[in-house]
Amino acid sequence: MAEKLFIGGKWVKSASGKTFASKNPATGASLGTFQAGNAKDVDLAVRAARKAFKKYRLIPAPDRGEILFEAARLLKKNKKRLGKCVTDEMGKQISEGLGDVQEAIDVFEYMAAEGRRFFGHTTPSELPNKFAMTIRVPLGVCGLITPWNFPIAIPAWKLAPCLVAGNTAVFKPASDTPKCAMELVKILSDAGVPPGVVNLVTGSGREVGAPIVRHKGIDAISFTGSREVGEFVTANAGLKKVGIELGGKNPIIVMDDADLDLAVDGIVWAAFGTTGQRCTAASRVIVHKSVEKPLLAKLLKATGKLTVGYGMRADVGPLVNKAAVEKTKQYVAIGRKEGKLFCGGNALEGNFFEPTIFTKVKPSARIAQEEIFGPVTAVITVSSLKEAITVANSIDYGLSSSIYTRDVNSAFTAIRDLEAGVTYINAPTIGAEVHLPFGGVKATGNGTREAGIEGINEFSETKTVYIDYSGGLQRAQID
């Protein structure tokens, strides 16, 4: 029996009459059948969200926060079950699956507390007997379109600030991970989210995502995914408020004074964790020529210890689907022409792929410029910090970056000069904390930051308020 859509607080079948299956990318086992939604379902969800918004926006923000606290409690209670759900449906190793759920717990707790802050600003007026301040107000109905690689965490990053700010949502998850999204929505419903406040419409980008982006009844879009789709969103959303995060080509710089063992730990985790399927994955290692040989020796040894297989038992899980395997194979073929294959390079049975490293890669090579989204990283050799930063910045993207060095001057130079929304010192390119803003520059997005207080800003607007108690007409600038 097929799972259903969640619209207006009820589980309903799609108007399309069609369904699709979700399968475990490691084993091929079926995880369920889900509704293939369409534009009519989107319209019903928007209507339900608009109706719910009228009352939901008036609920005091601290009370909205209490609902999120309850959601966090339920996520904690179900963490093991949901972590396995992430591993089974997306493929990541079980500790990462549990981390995916923990990130959702963290962001719900953080945003729940923002319900008691939701700060505006007060400022002196330039006129006597006049008070001036700003407040935060909700946007309305938000369309949330999320990827498959963090199937509970990223929806939580969007839903938590959206809801505490007083908005309602039409939520479309990736078609590779509908089960995880459904489990999250069930928890929100059990936590007390009123009917119509969160609406779930599963289905394809063409049949569900595009109608959400174009729908005139939706006031804002928050999208995380590919650059190609991000460009579609910005071209078709109209005058909606739009937040997009589109990926990266993230560098780890290893300087001549770096702790090489620490750097190798970071490179292996950032390059091959989640099978490289992260927007923050380290797909470039920029190493000072004086430490290239010892670094590569250590890197080869560490990579060789990784086991590949089902995420409940292995270090590196599967790629999400056959298309991802084919894409990785194509880039490895390109890499064989552009550099030297150092290790890996082979597709394994099923959706598995060996952790792969290329050396002798030029900064302009395609494998050093384009996002692969697989377990592949390119080693680029440089002779100075200045050259390392130049190479790091020589890409279209600007999400995360990292430098390993013991020199505080080098560290602060990198902080100043790396073109990225996030910079790590002596840590890998991944590991965002929910109370800090996350996002990038250049082709990574449009300047939006998620998480932290910036998450509240993404899902609310500033309203300026003037209160004149002078008893007469006062005219700013004129009087």
How high is the pLDDT of residue 478?
83
Q: How many CB atoms lie within 10 A of CB 394?
A: 16
**Residues of the chain under the 70 pLDDT cut:** none
Predicted confidence at residue 206, as pLDDT, reads 97
- DSSP assignment of 372-403 equals --SSEEEEEEESSHHHHHHHHTSSSEESEEEE
> What angle is formed at CA 33 by the lines to CA 5 and CA 168, rounded to 5 degrees?
20
> Residue 149's pLDDT is what?
97
Query: The tokens of 205 are what?
Result: 């980008």
Token duo for residue 186: 């069930």
- Specify the pLDDT at position 392: 98
pLDDT value of residue 479: 72
- Going by C-alpha positions, the residue among 174, 161, 182 that lies closest to residue 209 is 174
pLDDT of res. 362 = 98
Domains detected in the chain: 5-246+445-464 (3.40.605.10), 250-425 (3.40.309.10)
Return the ∠ at Cα 392 (arms to 387 and 393), rounded to 5°. 100
Residue of 192, 169, 179 whose CA lies nearest to 70: 192
What is the dihedral sign for C-alpha 317, 318, 324, 330?
positive
DSSP H helices in 254-304: 260-272, 292-304
Catalytic residues: 279
Longest CA–CA separation in the chain, Å: 80
Distance between CA atoms of residues 91 and 93, nearest Å: 7
How far is the C-alpha of 280 from the C-alpha of 250, rounded, in Å?
A: 6
Residue 433's alpha-carbon distances to 19, 109, 422, in angstroms, are 36, 13, 11
